[in-house]
Structure 1
């Protein structure tokens, strides 16, 4: 193991130097690499991940120069209007920044939208203040340390105090070559009294290759801030994926999550919302469709630290073929978080005899004077619903399709960008047929 650490040190120094990274980032990478060799994989309830490949790869591409518009695939350009001068977006292909546009009006107000390596170089104080500090820590387990050591892409979005952004900020992260690991970091900070809507897509262009994706996203809402966060993950079946989305919410602030988890490969998906301040709110809506032989573990946790905090979890999944998905929903009201409200609902719809879905709601209550509740169900398409639709002249196949879309619609309709919403509907359609 010591030899691997030494070899890794040389490797990290080389790509960090090639990207002209500041010394502090190089040193933090080296420290994280040492931790990655010492720490265990995270504990994932009800899913055995010891034999999954999360860390081995053949080729590595660090941050590098951008690509031209002509190289962007149609699959990407369909998601964003490159000719719209009023749109705000960032596009990345593998570790290469491809296109960035932020309106001058927002830049003049101090809004920052840039790739993660440029953020470390040009906005060092802000980067150091928030990068893997309050939301996600480097030493949590092997995969967070691996991430901190090898992060090679991602975006930094900072909204200053008292700035309200009315137009969505959109990002598209493309894995064009599955053999190159996607180690992507999103750092979104909404400062006091600010608001922003952020929507992202993860897209695979390499449908046949195999590889890994390690995604860590820190979403920080300071005091009286509002964040609406939408995402559609659509990586290919050969990619083993670890996703860690973490919300850190201050007093009287909120984060609304709308997550479409549509990866085709084995995936560990962790969404944690920490309600740190009094009067904070976290709302998490998640949909997923499993197919083939993939295994997914979707853990959604909302932890209440602040008084009168409100947390809701809504998770809907559709399973077909021999896919397996575990939904772990955890609402935790800590001691001191009186007058808080924790609610959750997890439902799984089975389309095939070989498919499996488990919904595991958990409530942990360490305080009196609170409200909490949960609901969970696993079952097949309701025959009464099918009968009603078929009695109106609709075929059984079309009736089943309509029921599935209605089942997933609570999250789909929350996405604020029409192109992304249409894309998610198309992905769902392709998966369930």
Structure 2
């Protein structure tokens, strides 16, 4: 299969675009090599999901957007995502293919923190980007990772020096409203030894985007003793296919905390993985997703243990209504030599409609004896006895169902350490469930 058959763009166009953006020669070469790879690689094989049947050709082309002079120029549908004035001091906004707003406080600069767009970091810090770009996720893994490597634009680069603790959360907004514009951000976070940072991003869309493909990758590198809190809420409409790989490389005694809200209306492939490479490394992942209409979701959370005494905890909750379907995968892999590792996972699916279909797949792959591992999974409908009990106390049926749903989601939402993310997720859940 030729590259042209996969994507309506050729090698020369990729090279010319890279050169026009004054990217280093090594990045131009990586893009070109990745596009060639895309012509020979297959799509990823997903558990019980035929992604090859999804509309995956609408990648768009790179289009330059006008820079915003004020956040008041943001589209109305995104302004509610920026309520904390402190966050607006450390903010990156990408609209379609372009970065349209960047703000980084003097305090960050004094600490040596780099918080800028990835495309800007290529110019100002090329060697730093080169050392880490596409090292956690490989361009050769499948067709999607290869296409992303060739086509990414905008993105975020966050570098936290050794022993630096960033108090305020850093935020990014990724917005799309043009079906002809490429929308494939790349987020690269590097936390040096014993540093800590909280990063939050939101994905939002507006208008009929004709099955536009969001093909994004997140790479997080945690050096020994580092702590990274990463929260991401995706709220793209039904005309966007959302494909996201998020992966962290976690070294000795480092901690990676994920909070992911899949609040999209279109088809979703979400893969969130922690590679626990160091002894004493830790990962915690909390995932919420809500399916509506005929939406198809394939959500995978994974922890791979290499280090001794490493630990992982994964909790996923999915609520499905209408004729939506969800495949929820939890994968704990403990490699040979990872003695003392502890991997726990829970996946639960609640179906609100007889036409909804959910599947929870807990998977334990253990290659070492001296470890602890456990899983729990359930798929079911709302318990009518619970509804009846609440209604017998004078609560309406609609309110009773709402209480049951939030009780189901509470083990994830209530323990999210960022209050604003809790509130955001609750708003999006209410909107998706029509409450």
Q: TM-score, normalised by structure 1?
A: 0.95
**Offset at residue 345 of structure 1 (A):** 0.5
Contact kept, 8 Å, 1:287 with 1:316, in 2: the verdict is yes
Aligned to 1:94: 96
What SS is found at the alignment partner of 1:152?
coil
Aligned to 1:8: 10
**Offset at residue 66 of structure 1 (A):** 2.1
Contact kept, 8 Å, 1:67 with 1:96, in 2: the verdict is no
Q: Deviations over 1:125-168 (max 9, x none)?
A: 110111001x1011011110000000012101111110001111
**Offset at residue 97 of structure 1 (A):** 1.7
**Offset at residue 222 of structure 1 (A):** 0.9
Aligned to 1:44: 46
Aligned in 2, Cα 1:284/1:230: closer, same or farther, shift over 3 Å?
Answer: same
**Offset at residue 8 of structure 1 (A):** 0.9
Alpha-carbon distance between aligned partners in 2 of 1:208 and 1:95, rounded to the nearest angstrom? 14
Aligned to 1:80: 82
Aligned in 2, Cα 1:148/1:203: closer, same or farther, shift over 3 Å?
Answer: same
What SS is found at the alignment partner of 2:185?
strand
Contact kept, 8 Å, 2:300 with 2:328, in 1: the verdict is yes
Q: Deviations over 1:294-320 (max 9, x none)?
A: 111111111100000001110100011
Q: TM-score, normalised by structure 2?
A: 0.94
Contact kept, 8 Å, 1:78 with 1:419, in 2: the verdict is no
**Offset at residue 280 of structure 1 (A):** 0.4
Aligned to 1:53: 55
Contact kept, 8 Å, 1:209 with 1:238, in 2: the verdict is yes
Aligned in 2, Cα 1:177/1:346: closer, same or farther, shift over 3 Å?
Answer: same
Aligned to 1:108: 110
**Offset at residue 383 of structure 1 (A):** 2.6
Q: Which moved more, 1:305-314 or 1:382-391?
A: 382-391
Contact kept, 8 Å, 1:333 with 1:367, in 2: the verdict is yes
What SS is found at the alignment partner of 1:137?
coil
Which 5+ residue runs of structure 1 have no aligned equivalent?
A: none
Aligned to 1:332: 333
Alpha-carbon distance between aligned partners in 1 of 2:374 and 2:54, rounded to the nearest angstrom? 34
Which 5+ residue runs of structure 2 have no aligned equivalent?
A: none
What SS is found at the alignment partner of 2:266?
coil
**Offset at residue 203 of structure 1 (A):** 0.5
Aligned to 2:245: 244
CA root-mean-square deviation: 1.9
Alpha-carbon distance between aligned partners in 2 of 1:337 and 1:55, rounded to the nearest angstrom? 41
What SS is found at the alignment partner of 2:365?
strand
Superposition pairs of residues 79-228 of structure 1, within 5 angstroms:
79-81=81-83, 84=86, 87-133=89-135, 135-207=136-208, 209-228=210-229
Aligned to 2:350: 349
**Offset at residue 205 of structure 1 (A):** 1.7
Aligned to 1:271: 272
Aligned in 2, Cα 1:286/1:25: closer, same or farther, shift over 3 Å?
Answer: same
What SS is found at the alignment partner of 1:345?
strand
Contact kept, 8 Å, 1:282 with 1:311, in 2: the verdict is yes
Contact kept, 8 Å, 1:178 with 1:239, in 2: the verdict is no
